[in-house]
Homo-oligomer: A and B are copies of this chain.
Amino acid sequence: MTEKEKALIEAKANILKALGHPTRLWMAEQLAGGEKCVCELAENINADFSTVSKHLTVLKQAGVVEVDKRGKQVYYRLKVPCILNFMPCVEAVLQATAQSHIELMDQKRPIGQIDAV
């Protein structure tokens, strides 16, 4: 792996990492409906303003959102909206995992007691 490839992987991982926190993912999803000011985001989750601000900074540094200061308020919006197109597949992973769990449960189901499957 070249240095360049390595840097690319790190950059991409960083974006995924930025979205890999419940609060930040929630924020990104909120922004899918259009830009929001910090206050709008903050009042919808149970967190300190400074915490919200820091999460938004993480998203901004990752390049996921961009900022627009207008008057006293700061508006954030998705920079590259396709970022949320990913969610259906993420949900598919959850489904698949749930499915595995179900299958696991099936194996344990006392009815039938089938050994060979």
Contact = CB atoms under 8 A, between A and B. Distances in A.
A82 interface: yes
Size band of the interface chain A makes with B: 35 or more
Q: Is the interface of A mostly helix, strand, loop or mixed?
A: helix
- Copies of this protein in the complex: 2
A63 interface: yes
Given A16-B16, A16-B25, A21-B17, A11 B94 contact: yes
A26 interface: yes
Given A62-B93, A94-B11, A19 B16 contact: yes
Contacts of A45: 1
Given A9-B29, A13-B21, A63-B100, 15 more contacts: A8-B94, A9-B22, A9-B25, A11-B94, A12-B87, A15-B20, A15-B94, A16-B90, A17-B21, A62-B93, A64-B93, A79-B96, A80-B92, A83-B90, A85-B86
